[in-house]
Structure 1
Amino acid sequence: MTAAAAAPGTAESEALARVFGFHGYRPGQAEIVEAMLAGDDVLAIMPTGGGKSLCYQLPALVRGGLTVVVSPLIALMEDQVAALRANGVTAAALSSATGADERAWILDAAREERLRLLYVAPERLASGRFCDWLGGLGVTRLAVDEAHCISQWGHDFRPDYLRLGDLASRLAVPVGAFTATADEETRAEIVRRLFDGRAPQQFIRGFDRPNLFLAFQPKASPRRQVLDFVTARRGQSGIVYCATRDRAEAMAEALRGAGCQAQAYHAGLEAEERSRRQTLFTRGDGVVMAATVAFGMGVDKPDVRFVVQADLPKSIEAYYQEIGRAGRDGLPADTLTLYGADDIRLARARIDEGDAPPERKRADHARLSALLSLAEAPRCRRQTLLAYFGESDAEPCGNCDLCREPPERIDGTEIAQMALSAMLRTGEGFGAGHVVSVLRGESDERIERLGHDQIRTFGVGAAHARSDWQAWLRQMLALGLCGIDGSRGGAWSVTDAGWEVLRGGRTVELRRETPRRLERRRAAAVAPDMAPEDAELLAALKARRAEIARAANVPAYVVFSDRSLVEMAQNRPATAEAMADVHGVGAAKLERYGDTFLEVIRAAG
């Protein structure tokens, strides 16, 4: 999708180019900015990387006054403030980490009406004195980032967000709420809790991230699969999500052993150490973070080139949020999600054993089933993903594993009936290995002792390989035709849906698995058609950017994004005027960095 041009000659188009160096809006931004400028309440659902922050930053500059932004993590706020200041915007962040001198400066800037954007952490709202202080600053609008955190049943619920409704009522100013994922139920809860009975304008933009390569893979040797994938992308920044702290630590150690710059991140670390590691990731090049979901919304690094989910997420919303941390700059990025039967069993058990009410458990099971349908999809993953979010008219994307290597689809009804019958005739008391042995007619002492070599199902599936049956059982589990009872040693049993197949009331489509080496697939190229001499210049521009970022103690992307450097390398601007036409080069950055980057370009010849 191409950027939409801002209306020429308007204050917003002038600020868009002068401050941010953008010459048009990303899809969906223009209408939201217009509503914010008009003083309307707004609820905007936009894909990660879709430019949500600009939708409240630009109105803050054009209309003046003070916009308060509630953001969930300190590191996220600090990076956004650093980026705004690099663009010449008077912005600040206020949290428990803010020093006395900075607090004094913020107060002075607010009193003098110089401060345009003030980022605050949600835990600050617990203080009545702090809210009183905010109320006295003459706030003109309130923006809530990651607004889905206000939903008690959302995947990133933050209790401090529940105070936002009171703050919004107290300030009595227009409210803008922004998030990347919120289903209908979550959107209704955001409106109910945040807008005090008012009906905000709702903007639900497309969920497609066409620059992301989508892939799933059954677990075979998970650590080796991750190591192969990551080492094929050595030198790129990426995230490997793990289900537990121990797995994150072990994965980081394994990655370091494979020669990668890797760190672990999880809630078990001291706050100072977590902050140090996150800073290393956001400000470094080629750092890989092995992390639990504790490492999430604080990631504002646009040049993350890959995300691996070493364990199955709990829902499509969580999946979408996590992979969305890749390729926020719009350049190509890779994603890979690993999953297996144990993941499915544990996810189901976690829901069943939780203390949520029955209706919530049913909804959580449905969300998990939707994710499993994506994992076991027989055709284009992007079509399946977008259909979940209500976009049912998408064409095959050509940028997922199933489009690149279409699997063989078969009528699996008879296969499923064989497997389900084997489970029933063995008393629904055995694991997958035993069921497959019965199906293949593989007798041993235990099978003979139990008499399972005498049942009608023994050997009916001998024509198929053990690996085929293992794959089909996993697919049947994902389709909800059978279940696993962890309290009985992982025994497989037939569900109501499975009985429907057995009785002939339902057909089943399965995939025939073929060996794939997706993890060794060539890494997505940031600029696939770049000439060798331009690639050399890009490397030199990145080196200069790194020097400047280290000296200023800011993330590299605060100086210039990868997209800006790619344009410089390909277009080779020779003058300040030409440099100003490059994406992301606003007036402040042109004045601060223009000459030094022009010097690198001229030296390249």
Structure 2
Amino acid sequence: MRDAGAKCERTARRVLGLTDLRPGQLAAMTALAEGRDTLVVMPTGAGKSAIYQVPALLLPGPTLVVSPLIALQRDQVESLRRRDEEAVSLDASTPASRRSEAFEALRAGETEFLFCAPEQLARPDVVRELAAASPSLMVVDEAHCVSSWGHDFRPDYLRLGAVAEALGRPVIAALTATAAPPVRAEIVDRLGMREPLEIVQGFDRPNISLTVRRMLDDPAVELVAAVAQEPLPGIVYTASRRQTGRLAGMLTEAGLRAEAYHAGLRRAERDQVHGRFMSGELDVVVSTNAFGMGIDKPDVRFVHHAEVPGSPDSYYQEIGRAGRDGEAARAVLFYRPEDLGLHRFFTGALPDPETLERLAQAVAAAGPGADRKQLRERTELSPRRLTSLLDLLERAGAVRLGTRRVSPVPGAPDPHAAAELAMRLAERRRDVERTRLEMMRRYAETEECRRRFLLGYFGEELAEPCGNCDTCRAGTADQPANGEGPFRVHAHVEHETWGHGQVIQRGEDRLTVLFQEAGYRELSLEAVLEQRLLTETGAEGRS
């Protein structure tokens, strides 16, 4: 498209009233308008919606927006309609008559935007109707959900690459607020993105003060006392549903308007808590990680964690819900080392090899185009479990996944060998997950600048201590960020056993390297130099 950047700027100004685009916005808009797949990592509130809305109006054909949050879809539809842009959303409650009207309007060019959850794209009739409308742009919001590295992994997202092909392969825009390098790589792979432009903008949230309070016993009493001293409103995250009710009760007894929130509540109860929090009727929500995406409340003043999360990915996503108005906010982690044991237990879970083999046999017996429903009946697996195991078998080269059907790959390993390959993949993923948990432990126990540690995990470098975390205030975080000598931050390296990697942090006496196959590893710099454990390869050394 000729002069796509200028057209994007004019359209953003005319339609959205945006006179000053934020860093990264114009580059992403321009790439999409020129027909290039684009992965965008930007904080919530940084204008990711505008990134797809502007090129959508320049590209011929309608736009499909995939989002896991029905409430957020409806908000987007209302916002677009206020600007006289035609948009509709589909979910499980949409009547058949309204579905037909929506698809007719889409085919006729009367509607530009259609929003739906990934579950809707498991329906063959929905995919057929969308394909008939020939969408030019497919937007995957909360794209980290496609990655099993990600903290909000959702198996329904695994179909989206096949959906894109079934729709005639529109341009793909993948959007997320937080994604470490391995998550970004898996997003690109799972969605089948073609030479995408990657725009990673602004992980740093300097207005959020970071603190870790190391605990010997149950932190409940100290947490409640801390919350009572905080400016309101805020969020408390805890690991179990039972704890949400207990802590919410304690906070209520302390005079705060607090409610529990978790996935076990009825939808109406969850919606009520969400609505009361957003409208200012609640001071605190105590939740499992179910209270997350779509919480775009600008004035959240604190996010406290009663236990350590399983990875820096989930932790940073959750604390990022504080201080979105740019004003001062606090993130406090109440850390007990024994809480890591629960995460180690769950990350140790592996699929049953006999179940994998039985599923591979069922696919082979059904032949090309096996229906997922039939496979569920034959194997007695839940839809979620079936999708996860099929994904492993696909990665083992045994099956090919479509939007609804599954086929054996000609010349693939027999079911027993396929199950063994899939098990090895699962074991490798388990080992990598444990390295992420180890990075969370390192964050909680470090005496260096906590913000610099977190940003390094996400591939960003902070040259100086931030001055707004407890280690900086304690005076222990004054070491230089990158030390001196070889293996600088972002250097590409090779390890004899772990393969290709990239240095993401370098202190005075140690390196943290993200290996493509082995995950995050912390190495003694002295050992690396004396034993020649790493070789710098340059960017071309990456596979």
**Cα offset, 1:100, TM superposition:** 6.2
Asked whether the 8 Å contact 2:5–2:26 carries over to 1, the reply is: no
Quote the sequence identity (%): 44
2:333 maps to 1:264: no
- Distance, in Å, in 2 between the alignment partners of 1:268 and 1:9 is 47
Corresponding position of 1:392: 461
Secondary structure of 2:465 counterpart: coil
Match of 2:276 among 267, 276, 280: 280
Gap regions ≥5 residues in structure 1: 1-6, 410-496, 498-504, 506-605
| More strand by percentage | 2
> 1:95 offset after TM fit, Å?
0.9
**More helix by proportion, 1 or 2?**
1
Give the structure 1 partner of residue 241 of structure 2.
Answer: 245
Matching residue within 397, 402, 406 for 2:475: 406
Contact 1:90 1:114 in 2 (8 A): yes
Secondary structure of 1:129's match? helix
Q: Does 1:91 align with 2:87?
A: yes
Question: Structure 1 residues 19 and 209, CA, compared in 2 at 3 Å: closer, same or farther?
Answer: farther
Task: Describe how 1:92-111 pairs up with structure 2 within 5 A.
Answer: 92-98=88-94, 103=99, 106-107=102-103, 109-111=105-107
Instruction: In structure 1, give the amino acid aligned to 2:473.
Output: R
1:274 CA displacement: 1.9
The answer to whether 1:289 aligns with 2:358 is no
1:183 alignment partner in structure 2: 180
Q: Would the alpha carbon gap of residues 358 and 346 (structure 1) be closer, same or farther in structure 2, given more than 3 Å must change? A: same
Amino acid at match of 1:314: G
> 1:343 and 2:412 equivalent?
no
CA 1:22–1:283 in structure 2 vs 1: closer, same or farther (change >3 Å)?
farther
Higher relative contact order (CA 8 A, sep 6+): 1
CA–CA distance in structure 1, aligned partners of residues 339 and 443 of structure 2? 15
Counterpart of 1:383 in structure 2 is: 452
What is the deviation of 1:160?
Answer: 0.9
Q: 1:214 aligns to what SS in structure 2?
A: strand
Q: Alpha-carbon deviations, 1:552-586, whole Å to 9, x = none?
A: xxxxxxxxxxxxxxxxxxxxxxxxxxxxxxxxxxx
The answer to whether the 8 Å contact 2:4/2:30 transfers is no
- Residue 382 of structure 1 deviates from its aligned partner by 0.9
Cα distance, 1:275–1:393 mapped onto 2, change above 3 Å: closer
Could you say what secondary structure the match of 2:136 adopts? strand
Aligned to 1:231: 228
Q: 1:137 to 1:388 in 2, by over 3 A?
A: same
- Number of the residue aligned with 1:218: 214
Cα drift, residue 104 of structure 1: 6.2
| 1:420-451 superposed Cα distances (whole Å, 9 cap, x missing partner) | xxxxxxxxxxxxxxxxxxxxxxxxxxxxxxxx
* Residue pair 2:12, 2:18 contacting (<8 A) in 1 also: yes
Q: Identify the residue that residue 71 of structure 2 maps to in structure 1.
A: 75
Conservation of the 8 A alpha-carbon contact between 2:471 and 2:477: no
C-alpha separation between the residues in 2 aligned to 1:140 and 1:329? 34
Which amino acid is the alignment partner of residue 288 of structure 1? V
Please identify the structure whose Cα radius of gyration is greater.
Answer: 1
CA distance in 2, matches of 1:385, 1:360: 22
Following superposition, the deviation at residue 17 of structure 1 comes to 4.0
Quote the residue 1:138 is aligned against.
Answer: 134
Q: What is aligned with 1:192?
A: 189
Match of 1:369 in 2: 438
TM-score, normalising length from structure 2? 0.68
After superposition, the C-alpha distances for 1:369-410 in whole angstroms (9 at most, x for unaligned) are 11111112213211111112222343221222222343599x
Matched AA of 1:191: V
Is the 8 Å Cα contact of residues 72 and 298 (structure 1) preserved in structure 2? no
Deviations, residues 50-97 of structure 1 (Å, cap 9, x unaligned): 332221122223446421111112122223333434455433321123
CA distance in 2, matches of 1:64, 1:303: 39
TM-score by length of 1: 0.61
SS in 1 for 2:307: coil
Residue 312 of structure 1 aligns to which amino acid in structure 2?
V
| 8 Å CA contact retained: 2:103, 2:130 | no
| Alignment check: 8 A CA contact 2:63 2:135 kept | yes
| Shift in alpha-carbon separation, 1:109–1:22, aligned structure 2, 3 A | same
User: Do the aligned partners of 1:48 and 1:321 also contact (CA within 8 Å) in 2?
Assistant: no
Partner Cα separation in structure 2 for residue 8 and residue 230 of structure 1: 50
Q: Which residue of 2 aligns with 1:31?
A: 27
Asked if 1 retains the 8 angstrom alpha-carbon contact of 2:87 and 2:112, the reply is yes
